[in-house]
A = this chain, B = another copy of it.
């Protein structure tokens, strides 16, 4: 778990003004590598944060962190966005029954067939699984 000061430095290194809410959310998010939804973060913040943090601020902060490269958006479910605090190169396994997300190693992917005049922003591999019946 990072100290407030460590989070403040992390944010500022990424050009993000370190406000109180952002620091508290940062401590929750960067405590460990995890996959978390806006809803889950709201729930977590309502228990653990010193001050209560509004829904809009949760969404704003998640979007800002993702944009600034502190979080990675994980698009596995059309109805809900997850954010991954593990920035290393990896793919995801999404259990469509339980909603759980776990990591898998990402194999080398050949990038030879991208349209010219564009640049790759992200490469995602998602394996959707269901519980064996």
Number of this chain's copies in the complex: 2
A87 beta carbon closer than 8 Å to chain B: no
**Chain B hits for A129, CB < 8 A:** 114-115, 118-121
Separation of A129 and B114 alpha carbons in the complex (Å): 9
A40 beta carbon closer than 8 Å to chain B: no
A81 beta carbon closer than 8 Å to chain B: yes
Would you list which residues of chain A between 44 and 98 have a CB under 8 Å from chain B?
Answer: 73, 75-78, 81, 93, 95-96
A17 beta carbon closer than 8 Å to chain B: no
**Chain B hits for A105, CB < 8 A:** 110, 113
Partner of A114, one of B77, B117, B125, B127: B127
Partner of A81, one of B78, B108, B126: B78
- Show the binding face of A for B, using Cβ within 8 Å: 73, 75-78, 81, 93, 95-96, 102, 104-105, 107-111, 113-115, 117-132
